[in-house]
Amino acid sequence: MEIDAIYKDRKEALEVLRHSSAHLMAQAVLELFPVTKTGIGPAIENGFYYDFLRESPFTLEDLSAIEAKMREIAKKNLKVEKVNMPREKAVSLFKEKNQELKVELIQEKGEAEVSCFKQGDFIDFCLGPHVPSTGYIKHFKLLSVSGAYWKGDEKGRQLQRIYGTAFQTKKELEQHLSLLEEAKKRDHRRLGVELDLFSFNEKLGGGLVLWHPKGAAIRNAIEDFWREEHYKDGYDLLFSPHVAKLDVWETSGHTEFYDALYPPFEGDGIKYQLKPMNCPFHIMVYNSRQRSYRELPLRWAELGTVYRYERSGVLHGLLRVRGFTQDDAHIFCRPDQLEKEIRKAISLAKKILGTFGFNEYDIFLSTCPDKHCGSDTDWDKATKALERALKEEKLDFSIDEGEGVFYGPKIDIKIKDALQRSWQCTTIQLDFNLAERFDLNYVGEDGKFHRPFMIHRALLGSLERFFGILIEHYNGNFPLWLAPVQAVIIPIADRHNEYAESINETFKNRKLRTFVDDRREKMGYKIRDAETNKTPLILIVGDREVERKTASLRIHTQGNAGEIHVEKFLEKIMLLIANRSIDVKF
């Protein structure tokens, strides 16, 4: 028997532990609920899950019972054994156990000899590897249950998916559970409602965002900054339609390769398609006239709204929607300009992400897959240009061998938020496919036609998704320059309203987002309300403040900051906003 030792300090060891935990959970479920059908149970990032087919839904009490049974089985220290058997024998075995889903999987994926793993009376169709015995599984927790479709097919059977997590040590498990609790507090879906930022309405359709005034104010601040930085970096901005003739998407290959298209619709006897991407429109601007080598590079950016049909089961607040705005850009350049343009794109990404407070990230360079378009020479040239650009920018990166998409190599930047969670945002992608499909060219110095390099580039990704990340990163306590309401002025009594309004008018004239809370409520209530709404600055004015032309300042999360002179205070906050400072300090 061959043995492959996997030591605890290797990443693979945690995956093995979690996969084995999924098997342990399935065994516990079958002991408690014997007629349940088992689906699949892989290790995933931060944990594991297992899918079950069962008439009645699992309850929270069921999860507690399953977890207790898992601990009971783990203590028995059952030996985990690999069992190989002929395919037909495996089919027969699982038929006897009334495990029809396993039979289906074996018939579809099983080789002549089928690999299974057995622990006690439980056996599962699986390639492994697994821990030597159930006693190795000690520090785990079941987290939640949700719906899932068999093989991800919405037309397939509805299953129940139980999620759990497992770690090598108790301390690691407790730290992770603490992180999950903090993540719940920061959930953008809850904060979005509490802070009146956005909403969804099933009457409108799933995955379609309604931006409320406060959310729209933040989005406008993001967009204004984005445009400003792009103009500084030599980009021109484009606008493009939300639909195009279906044959455009046939030329681009989306109808053939992209499975998230909405069904086409017809007008005047012509079939149209909601756009899932902005690329073809930018290409058509490029092809609107003949281009010369002297014009290149061309850098065109667009905040373009696109539409992709995502299954209802995967929609998740702002993080997974059906209509969203990409901070898209396409760069058309000559081969000799490629490395410089990639470096510029990386540099702009670092600047923009850093301004939002994201200075930690993991970077990946994905290289040529087995099936690809474009010549090997172009792939080699493009991959080396990406690699050199990362090195010149002094950035650490990992290589994802063969993980580039079929039309070109790419750089992915995954930011880390306040909870050290990774989020995919920036992508810099070379494309040999669309340039060929749409016959892009330019007239070179030699008077001949040449194919330009085309770079797809998104820095924030989707504005909706990035906004959700921002909410959770800051727990709704946005920096002053992003806050939907930057300051509230609270008069102590009606006689102070006029002075409060004069301060507000001064602030409004400087384009600050402020208002006067002159409701006939108690002072304490109005202050608590401003704090609950996470307003960065609270200015309180009474008789003394009117006489001195001052205000009493309260800073959110910091408390009272004393009396301030309004004009000097205004200049200070204008400087903080101009610098897009993360912290408010006086």
Residues with a known catalytic role: 279, 308, 326, 328, 330, 410, 456
Burial 497-509 (b: 16+ CB within 10 A, else e): eebbebbbeebee
C-alpha to C-alpha distance for 226 and 213, rounded to whole angstroms: 20
Place of tokens 């390639």: 127
Q: Nearest Cα to 276, choosing from 308, 309, 251? A: 308
* Contact yes or no for 122/23 (Cβ under 8 A): yes
Number of H helices, E strands in the chain: 18, 28
In the three-class reduction of DSSP (H, G, I as helix; E, B as strand; rest coil), residue 530 is classed as helix
- Which structure tokens are listed for 339? 């490395």
State the burial class of residue 581 (Cβ atoms within 10 Å of its Cβ: 0-12, 13-18, 19+): middle
C-alpha to C-alpha distance for 582 and 480, rounded to whole angstroms: 7
Place of tokens 């059908």: 37
Q: Nearest Cα to 24, choosing from 73, 64, 76, 83? A: 73
Q: What angle do CA 352, 354, 355 make, to 5 degrees?
A: 65
The amino acid that residue 88 corresponds to is E
Rg (the chain; Cα; Å): 29
Q: Would you say the C-alpha torsion 48, 49, 50, 56 has a positive or negative sign?
A: positive
The amino acid that residue 1 corresponds to is M
How crowded is residue 495: how many other Cβ atoms within 10 Å of its Cβ? 11
Q: Which residues make Cβ contacts (< 8 Å) with residue 144, sequence separation at least 6? A: 63, 162, 163
How crowded is residue 350: how many other Cβ atoms within 10 Å of its Cβ? 18
C-alpha to C-alpha distance for 124 and 27, rounded to whole angstroms: 9
Distance of CA 38 to the CA centre of its chain: 30
State the burial class of residue 74 (Cβ atoms within 10 Å of its Cβ: 0-12, 13-18, 19+): buried
DSSP state of 80: E
In the three-class reduction of DSSP (H, G, I as helix; E, B as strand; rest coil), residue 477 is classed as coil
State the burial class of residue 477 (Cβ atoms within 10 Å of its Cβ: 0-12, 13-18, 19+): middle
Please list the residues that pair with 398 across neighbouring strands.
364
Phi-psi region of 47 (alpha: psi -120 to 50; beta: other; left: phi over 0): left
* Contact yes or no for 154/311 (Cβ under 8 A): yes
C-alpha to C-alpha distance for 134 and 128, rounded to whole angstroms: 14
Q: Would you say the C-alpha torsion 36, 40, 42, 48 has a positive or negative sign?
A: negative
